[in-house]
Amino acid sequence: MKYTTPLFFCLGLILLATLSHAQEFNYTHTEREKWNLNADWLFRFGSHNDTYESINFEEATTEQVTIPHGLRLTSYRMDSTRDHRDQQHYLREIGWYQKKLNISAAAHQKIYIEFEAVHNVTDLWVNGKHAGRHDLGGYTPFHFDITDLVDKNGENTLTVKADNRFNPEISPDPHTTDFVKFGGLYRDVYLVVTHPVHVGFNWESQQTGVHITTPAVNKRSGTVTIKTYLKNETPQPQKARISTRIVNQEGVVVKKLEQEKLLTANSTTTFTQTTGIQKDFHLWSPDSPYLYRAISTVYVDGQAVDFTENKFGFRWFDLVDGQGLMLNGEPLFLVGVNRHQNFPIIGDAAPNSLHVQEAKMYKAAGMNTVRTSHYTQDDAFIQACDELGLIVYEEAPTWIDWGDDIWWEKLNMVTRRMIRNHRNHPSILFWGAGINHRGPVPQMQYTVKEEDPFRYTASASSAWNGVKNAGITDIYATMDYRWTNMPDGDFAMSMEHGCRPDAEANQFHISRYKERKNNIGCFAWLGADYNRLAPMDRDPEKDKMSDYAVLTAYRLPKPVYYWYQSELGNEPMVHIADHRGSNNGKVRVYSNAQEVALYHQGQLVARQKPDAEEHKKNLNHPSFTFYFPWENGTLEAIAYSQGEEIARHQRSKAKQPYKIRLEKSADLSYGDGDVQLVHAYVEDQQGNLCADFSDRIKFTTSGAGVLIHSDSANTNPAEVFDGIASIYVKATSGNAQVKVEASAKGLKKGSIKINTINAELNMLKSNFLPVYDFSNAMVDIGGKNQLVEHEFEAWTETNAFALKNMGEATAHLQAKELKWAGGATMLGNYSFMGADGAYTEKGAITLTFENLPAGTYKLESFHHTRLDKYKFAKSVACSILDQKGTQNRISDDHGVAYMEHKDSKERKPLFFINHIQSNGIDPITIEFRNADEANGIWLNGFILEQIKLGEAPNSL
């Protein structure tokens, strides 16, 4: 594959931008390229004595693999390894990877290989020459500059050594951890091409890449500062300009910023651009995760050479004594989970799609927060949290113990890279300043605050050892599995608390923490079951998979998941827990209703209110516990609020296993390393899940896909858990289908078809979203000495006015006797505009637009009667003549009439909103008059915004 931007695509983008000035089809026409390199790698194991020269990729043991890739597929219980939590031997292997890469680049361009993360020490060779080593650990991104090593117009060979051996210099080694280091190139790999004048990678240093902050935010407006660190890697000074567009969630440009500087040779120069959003302003929150984009294009000598795009959100947060955590001025109690990244069989090597799907599961449960225990996690997961509205607490990779000076130096560097890489994400509110270290760690606290003083810190303390307060951090975060005492005076959260499939432990802890206002949240341990090794004092033969999380290891809901939905969700619901929550003579029902009636075989068992135990008193919706020994038959729960049925749910004890039903997690993309899960449900003839089924299930595929399994790990036939077996599928070609079948002795076979889609490997094109750079004008009309509204253009005592942001468009004013007022003052929003204007004492004012580009426009006009001797216009009438014809309207936008000439209170002046349509040729006229025709009319100014294009050229 040739990793170069197709010429027709670049030219097409430039053509569209040229033909339609009101729409920018993005920024991939610069010299920046980013290509996904996940496909077509060769892999083989290495030994401790191997060198680059001794490795042979032509041996029979060499495999062809795709990234993400772990060194080995493991069994569900990790091959019954006898390693303990320090993991000195299991999976501590070396993997060698090789890839052929065709490059087509200009002689002056820079070439990089970017790794999102590799376990654990990484060496790269390009065409036989050593490009460098990364030895800071396996959880943060890094890159190599290979410009001087590649053939820029031919085939190149990349060779990677991924060394996952036990290493006492690199955290979380050499100590025990509760997570497994699976090894391999387990996150995405990219080729990046840039002009020598370019924006660097965020993690390189504190002053590289792009750093976005929002230094002032309130409910009505926000200020954003964008620092762009521009590198000039040429031996000559360069004149550079950065043009930044702030784009809202609908793709419309709302602000434009320009800055020009002379770059000295071989240097980095900081560009700082600050602006604010007031009009149509949106805050980011879990309930409304509104994202803006900062898109910056870099020009050198007038030529576009580089661009960056970063999403950000406006939000502010405080810790307020007696109220707890305040987000955007409102109290917010955090409820969520801890998350480990590994999946059964494939370990850490999960594609972006599985990370995103898991984030969606937590959001669908109603949760608002996730702790990324105990390491930096995939960019795709953090991005999903931004988009879904999940608040994130992120940590660097370590656990409990610490090492020597070299160890600390590397951990501090990893912490800095974590923050630099993710500092622009609005979802992140907390950084870890100690991870289960039994209290705050000064070195980590100082490192975090030096990199990011704007977010809060915490460290997971414990009830059995260590500091009992927040110490030097902002928040006391404790592991509370039983009954931890609350600190005096500190804000606190349960960083980890007990979790059970029946939700009883979750309810206990969350209710207890909500009792105290300065407690800000609860994180269940944990989100999904995960692989772990035995503590040093326990039998290593015991189970290697947890069994108490909210989701199974294959990310399927347990009963506790539905309690979270009842407690946190808004949709009416009721759910009868399966055997994991309904047992031992109890049936548990989760609902956000006031009452639930439970029936067995149509006979009423009981109708009751939620559990009234003391330890559940602070919950919104405690569970409903029915004391009923459910042995067979069908249960039905009917939920009532205000005496009306709002939801019902039915569950039956399964009879004889009869069939297999398959479900897919999603369709498959091909070429980017994607894999998806297929779940096989063992059911009786009526479709009830047979949770006791214990035989294994055999999966097969045909068509455009294969199974990911290992005979040595005994993963197919697959083990059944609670009536469900799961397996991974990957595509072998795109734009096709793969058929998956599942069978077991005595059961009717199940099958399902999965669509395969060719992945877009050009990451700039893959992430491409239209950007609408619409024409607009903000005009303040007035007489001499007028006070011009901030960020508005001044139209002073002239009948014609050029709209400078709209090409050749002009505006004209006409009235029988047009007068001008200026130099006055008033109170209220847009007060400078409302203080003066053009007016007529009798009749109408006509506003005419000529040469207005084709499209649909929103026209907001302002009509505040400023001088005391004139009566207020309580309502404005208008006649519009545009492309659609003639229309007559009377204003009702202002809602309440204005009564004071000098004060519009905390509102805008009297305003009138109309939509007008231009064909780009004919003039548009709007005649404004007082609805009370005996009086005159004022026009203080207007905001004209294009909201839709007219006839545009054919798009690609």
Answer whether residue 192 shows pLDDT above 70: yes
pLDDT tens-digit readout, 540-588: 777 899 999 999 999 999 999 999 999 999 999 999 999 999 999 999 9
pLDDT band per the 50, 70, 90 thresholds, residue 847: very high
pLDDT of residue 51: 93
pLDDT of residue 11: 28
Answer whether residue 20 shows pLDDT above 60: no
pLDDT of residue 5: 29
559 vs 401, more confident: 559
pLDDT of residue 287: 97
Q: For 823-834, what is the mean pLDDT?
A: 91
H/E run at residue 331: strand 330-331
Q: Note the Cα 129 to chain centre separation in Å.
A: 38
pLDDT tens-digit readout, 403-413: 899 999 999 99
pLDDT band per the 50, 70, 90 thresholds, residue 539: confident
CA distance 809 to 851: 5
pLDDT of residue 769: 87
Q: Report DSSP state, residue 341.
A: -
Please, are residues 185 and 68 in contact by the beta-carbon 8 Å criterion? yes
CA distances from 51 to 123, 130, 678, 716 (A): 11, 11, 40, 36
Give me the half-sphere count of Cα atoms (radius 13 Å) on the Cβ side of residue 888: 3
94-104 and 2-3 strand pairing = parallel
pLDDT tens-digit readout, 619-665: 999 999 999 999 999 999 999 999 999 999 999 999 999 999 999 99
Answer whether residue 445 shows pLDDT above 80: yes
CA distances from 264 to 195, 231, 236, 237, 524 (A): 16, 9, 7, 4, 52
pLDDT tens-digit readout, 724-743: 999 999 999 999 999 999 99
pLDDT of residue 874: 84
pLDDT of residue 532: 93
pLDDT of residue 141: 98
pLDDT band per the 50, 70, 90 thresholds, residue 21: very low
pLDDT tens-digit readout, 406-444: 999 999 999 999 999 999 999 999 999 988 877 889 999
Q: For 95-106, what is the mean pLDDT?
A: 97
Residue 636's contacts (CB-CB under 8 Å, 6 or more residues apart) are: 598, 599, 602, 648, 649, 650
Range of lowest pLDDT (459-463, 711-715, 885-889, 925-929): 459-463
CA distance 800 to 779: 12
Q: Map tokens 């700039």 to a residue.
A: 764
Range of lowest pLDDT (21-35, 593-607, 929-943): 21-35
Tell me the three state secondary structure of residue 509.
Answer: helix
Q: For 704-722, what is the mean pLDDT?
A: 94
For the chain, give the number of residues.
Answer: 956
pLDDT of residue 7: 27
CA distance 854 to 867: 37
Please, are residues 628 and 612 in contact by the beta-carbon 8 Å criterion? no
Answer whether residue 896 shows pLDDT above 80: no
Percent of the chain with pLDDT over 90: 83
Residue (of 454, 514, 518, 520) closest to 490 by Cα position: 518
pLDDT tens-digit readout, 234-270: 999 999 999 999 999 999 999 999 999 999 999 999 9
Q: For 307-315, what is the mean pLDDT?
A: 96
948 vs 702, more confident: 702
pTM beyond 0.85, yes or no: yes
pLDDT of residue 482: 83
Percent of the chain with pLDDT over 70: 96
pLDDT of residue 14: 33
Residue (of 275, 346, 432) closest to 791 by Cα position: 275
Please, are residues 756 and 733 in contact by the beta-carbon 8 Å criterion? yes
Please, are residues 230 and 239 in contact by the beta-carbon 8 Å criterion? no
Residue 109's contacts (CB-CB under 8 Å, 6 or more residues apart) are: 31, 147, 152, 193, 194, 195, 196
User: How high is the mean pLDDT of the chain?
Assistant: 93
Range of lowest pLDDT (149-163, 259-273, 313-327, 391-405): 391-405
pLDDT of residue 393: 98
pLDDT tens-digit readout, 58-84: 888 899 999 999 999 999 999 999 999
Answer whether residue 19 shows pLDDT above 80: no
pLDDT of residue 486: 84
pLDDT of residue 951: 53
Q: Note the Cα 599 to chain centre separation in Å.
A: 43
Answer whether residue 159 shows pLDDT above 90: yes
Answer whether residue 146 shows pLDDT above 90: yes
Please, are residues 448 and 419 in contact by the beta-carbon 8 Å criterion? yes
Please, are residues 884 and 950 in contact by the beta-carbon 8 Å criterion? no
pLDDT of residue 402: 86
pLDDT band per the 50, 70, 90 thresholds, residue 718: very high
Q: What single string gives the DSSP state of each residue in 447-478?
A: HHHHH-TTSEEEEEEESSSS-SS-TTSSEEEE
pLDDT of residue 536: 77
pLDDT of residue 537: 76
CA distance 52 to 64: 19
pLDDT band per the 50, 70, 90 thresholds, residue 464: confident
Q: What torsion, rounded to 10 degrees, do the Cα atoms 784, 789, 792, 796 define?
A: -10
CA distance 866 to 831: 11
pLDDT of residue 809: 95
Residue 324 tokens, joined: 């707890």
pLDDT tens-digit readout, 473-515: 999 999 999 888 888 889 999 999 999 999 999 999 999 999 9
